[in-house]
Structure 1
Amino acid sequence: MDLNGRAALDLDRLTAIDVHTHAEIAKDGRLSLSPELFGASEEYFKAQGHRRPTIAETAAYYRERRMAAVVFTVDAEHATGHPRISNEEVAEGCAEHPDVLIPFASVDPHKGRAGVREARRLVQEHGVRGFKFHPSIQGFAPDDRMAYPLYEAIEELGAIALFHTGQTGIGAGVPGGGGIRLKYSDPMLVDDVAVDFPELRIILAHPSFPWQDEALAVATHKPHVHIDLSGWSPKYFPPQLVRYANSLLKDKVLFGSDYPVITPDRWLADFDELEIKPEVRPRILKDNAARLLGLTGS
């Protein structure tokens, strides 16, 4: 139980930990991105008309499946002009369901010192475990020194930095891609971050098309860099990703769905058909994430 008498996360009870889910709608009905960008994403994922669950609904969904989920939104106010969902709202919503939800936050690096202060407050006062960056939507290169004070704070706080990598469905098909530049999500740009912040725990989100080999190289070379498998059905995973997940990166690959546009039900059904060694499956589905998130003693 937590201090308020609510059930805390029970690792032994869980079958999986999904490290990549989105809070897409605020309590007041505002969306985390503009309808134009969301519409492009829904078309890209063939998820037109999907429900945007509240945090409480997300908790119920994962509780029913005996899974935990990392939840975050994306702060891209500088590049898009669209107001974000409050990080505090996400964190407080997760705190109401500590048996299944793990709060991450998102701070636009363009916010400078104000963003650094916010990151510290979110970890220290709201229990946030990590921060989501989407360089293409936020309009910055991960190795831009502008973001370094924020990384420094996240490293010092012992939190995780999760970077979107590869192509994005956000803005796909919109004229000019909605102004979103894919080049910022090349995982090689995160390699500099891993060098300059050697104790920063990093997740490269998604199979990193068209830079899959680069992501594998960075995760193999840098000890604190991991890869999550969200945003794709496993049946489309590049063969080299499956090969590395089964071998060199078996302790650094993480289950992620991209819920709600891809559900864990769909993802796990396709993962069952993937040629993953039996002893590696539980590492990918739960054990690696539990260790990275500090849910275990080791």
Structure 2
Amino acid sequence: MSDPVIDVDSLTAIDVHTHAEISRTGHGALSPELFGTSEEYFKAHGHRQPTIDEMAAYYRERHMAAVVFTVDAEHATGHPRIANEEVAESCAAHADVLVPFASVDPHKGRAGVREARRLVEEHGVRGFKFHPSIQAFSPDDRMAYPLYEAIEELGVPALFHTGQTGIGAGVPGGGGIRLKYSNPMLVDDVAVDFPELRIILAHPSFPWQDEALAVATHKPYVYIDLSGWSPKYFPPQLVRYANTLLKDKVLFGSDYPVITPDRWLADFEKLDIKPEVRPRILKDNAARLLGLTKN
């Protein structure tokens, strides 16, 4: 990977969880049915689906950087993904503010492993996103282990959606999406079997918040991002651990565009977080994890 060009000192925050929802050609990351349920879940009716160029301008204006990814769930949904190469190339055009992650469906087997290596080595991808519920796999399924092995060897993080998802909410049968796959305890096996793999548990993990906290405190390379929820709804134990035992392992994430960093940060300002911990959550922990700083 090439050295990052982000000037971390000039940033106010690093958002580790944003979505590329639409391609250059107008192709959506999700089917219209599933995307519509997500809007309802987040009360984000009619929110715009910004292009990556627009995302870069949005974050640059706020002196923030952002991790950008899509979700490859072609096997389970039959919906073609947004190409990882497009995400990487678009982020490379805005390398001062955007950090590209990729998503590879674990069902793709050895082809997925080859793709992951190529994306990091040739396209500058700096991490991978998994959404077990949408991708219809259990994180501890040995099917995914060759992919984890490659990601660990490449030295980049793996981010796992955890907890309930708004995708499919309200659709009969939840749109076929099984919540059980997003229990963070299933990622504990991954942390055991790949001890050098940097893992991010995305979101306050309702209804498994205590499980997420247990995994993150027990496994040294497991982190938690705070995306997908307004901070005013954070469970009290999450706030307590963020202030203490996990102060170096909790990361700011918004879930943009369904939740904006403006809304998230306004609510975070009112949260009872120690002054010395705030910069760690907003920027320092992510900068270190993403390799944007030397320390």
Q: Would the TM-score normalized by the shorter structure come out above 0.5?
A: yes
Deviation string 1:105-152 (CA, Å, 9 cap, x unpaired) is 000000000000000000000110100000000000000000000000
1:36 to 33, 43, 62: 33
Partner residue in 2 for 1:16: 13
The runs of 5 or more residues in structure 2 that have no matched partner are none
User: Does residue 187 of structure 2 align to residue 193 of structure 1?
Assistant: no
* Equivalent position SS for 2:244: coil
Aligned identity (percent) is 87
Once the 2 structures are TM-superposed, how far is the Cα of residue 100 of structure 1 from its aligned partner? 0.2
Deviation string 1:79-128 (CA, Å, 9 cap, x unpaired) is 00000000000000000000000000000000000000000000000110
* Equivalent position SS for 2:201: strand
* Equivalent position SS for 2:273: coil
User: Does residue 211 of structure 2 align to residue 214 of structure 1?
Assistant: yes
* Equivalent position SS for 1:58: helix
2:255 to 238, 254, 258: 258
2:69 to 66, 69, 72: 72
Partner residue in 2 for 1:178: 175
Structure 1 segments of 4 or more deviating over 2 A? none
The runs of 5 or more residues in structure 1 that have no matched partner are none
Residue pairs, 1:79-94, within 5 angstroms: 79-94=76-91
Residue pairs, 1:1-298, within 5 angstroms: 8-298=5-295
Q: Distance in 2 between matches of 1:233 and 1:63?
A: 22
Once the 2 structures are TM-superposed, how far is the Cα of residue 9 of structure 1 from its aligned partner? 1.1
* Equivalent position SS for 1:105: coil
Alignment-mate amino acid for residue 21 of structure 2: E
Once the 2 structures are TM-superposed, how far is the Cα of residue 8 of structure 1 from its aligned partner? 2.8
* Equivalent position SS for 1:49: coil
Once the 2 structures are TM-superposed, how far is the Cα of residue 296 of structure 1 from its aligned partner? 1.1
Q: Distance in 2 between matches of 1:168 and 1:90?
A: 23
Please report the TM-score for the alignment, with normalisation by the length of structure 1. Answer: 0.98
Alignment-mate amino acid for residue 27 of structure 2: R
Question: Greater CA deviation, 7-16 or 259-268?
Answer: 7-16
Q: Distance in 2 between matches of 1:296 and 1:191?
A: 27
* Equivalent position SS for 2:57: helix
Q: Distance in 2 between matches of 1:8 and 1:108?
A: 29
Please report the TM-score for the alignment, with normalisation by the length of structure 2. Answer: 0.99
* Equivalent position SS for 1:39: helix
Alignment-mate amino acid for residue 38 of structure 1: F
* Equivalent position SS for 1:267: helix
